[in-house]
Structure 1
Amino acid sequence: MLTRIFKAPLKIVPGPQFEPLPPTLDSRRHKRYPIVMTGSVRREPWDVVPVRTVNLSASGAALASHVTPQVGESLSVELAFMGVLPARVVRLLPHVFAVEFQVSAYRLKQLERTVKWLAGQNTATLQDGRRYERLIPTIREADLTVDWGQYRVRVIDISRSGVGIATDVTLPNGTPVELGDNHRGVVVRQFKGGVGIDLVDLLGLDLFNEEIDLRKVAAAA
């Protein structure tokens, strides 16, 4: 004897709906501040790379790094005073990529307060950006590359985390730069006749000596 098995009709339960942020919360609507500070980015699966902010808002940041992710890539951004933030890459610029933080409206409000506070602080002092020994290299010439061209500048002094250069080129704070062939950094200080640059990556101990050469290889040859 066959027994007929009756099954209840399948009930489809809609998944959670994620609405895009309203225009008032869009990352481009939040005020961007020229805040320069160190941080790191974690890419899948376990790739962690150092970054420096070029500018920062409550809902996004422009980051200088030696890596170039893909637009749409998801990653985690860790910044001092802000914690670890899930983010998505939204734009690529020369030497810089822009991310949008993927956070709740409540977290966004917290970040607004934090960013406004950071904008009123000296982040270089907060992060002790000049804590490394500084030296004057034997080769004082260096090649500086920015979005609009390449310039020969003079090195004043150098540490593992930054370089002071003499130049008459106008370089506002927050300008992404490259020294030599692959030493990326961000302009963070202004002084008469030059600027201070914070490097994205610390110079290795094998490079940090008086013989360091910040000219491009082709130019130095």
Structure 2
Amino acid sequence: MTLQLQNHFEDFEAPRFQSVPVTLFGRYMLESKSEYACQTVEMSPGDMLLFGPAKPNVGEKVIVYLDELGRFAGVATRVDGAGFAMSMNLPALKRDKLADQLTWFANRHAVGLPEDRRHERVVPLMRRANLRLADGREFIVKILDISLSGVGIETEVTPPLGSQVVVGTTPAVVVRHFPGGFAGEFTKPFQAGQVDESTRL
């Protein structure tokens, strides 16, 4: 299905930003105030390709609500039998945040990372650890919990979603932010029986 949709969009103009194939669900509203369900085909910080039942006119304003990313306002730039393309002019902060989120979606798809924690979490006895970010900066952080597949970190540092970090000596990918910290999925999950209260990353 997605491959067919992508073929329909082959003749769209090249986006201003790097697009990634991403399947997200939501709804969109046209200037008529009518709302319809939609699915993204590709997305970048400045453009998105959507599959939806109703087509806007070129130049028409469109508002899109994506379940995992929120609200976006834009203008339809092309219309095709499979859907339409729209451009967005986002503020710099929102554009940078969206770029990080799309990087995470692309990485998650590429390496098959789980979206949610699937393993029991334990609170380690040794809760202080060194955190090294992708740019080489290091911080002492507090480990909230560990599972076979990931770790919860309490810190004021907020590395971008999808970025690579090293907790102690254990590589991980940042998958979720929460107040006061973030969650990371280990690049190489532990095996059953390898994680308990005495585990040190």
Classify the TM-score, shorter chain: 0.3 to 0.5
Name the TM-score, length of structure 2 as normaliser: 0.45
Which one has more relative contact order, counting CA pairs under 8 Å at least 6 apart? 1
